[in-house]
Amino acid sequence: EVQVVESGGGLVQPGGSLRLSCAASEFTFSHYSMGWVRQAPGKGLEWISYITGTGNNMLHADSVKGRFIISRDNAKNSLFLQMGSLRAEDTAVYYCARWDGGSQSFDYWGLGTLVTVSS
Binding site for other proteins (CB under 8 A): 35, 37, 44-47, 50, 59, 61, 95, 97, 100, 103-112
Beta strands 68-73; 92-100: pairing state: unpaired
- With respect to other proteins, which residue has the nearer C-beta, 29 or 108? 108
Report in angstroms how near the CB of residue 86 gets to other proteins at its nearest.
22
Distance CA 50, CA 24 (A): 15
Please, what is the Cα angle at 100 between 80 and 1, to 5 degrees?
80
Distance CA 23, CA 6 (A): 6
- 3-state SS record for 78-115: EEEEEECCCCHHHCEEEEEEEEECCCCEEEEECCCEEE
Report in angstroms how near the CB of residue 84 gets to other proteins at its nearest.
22
- With respect to other proteins, which residue has the nearer C-beta, 83 or 93? 93
Report in angstroms how near the CB of residue 73 gets to other proteins at its nearest.
23
Report in angstroms how near the CB of residue 41 gets to other proteins at its nearest.
12
- With respect to other proteins, which residue has the nearer C-beta, 14 or 101? 101
Amino acid at 72: R
- With respect to other proteins, which residue has the nearer C-beta, 32 or 108? 108
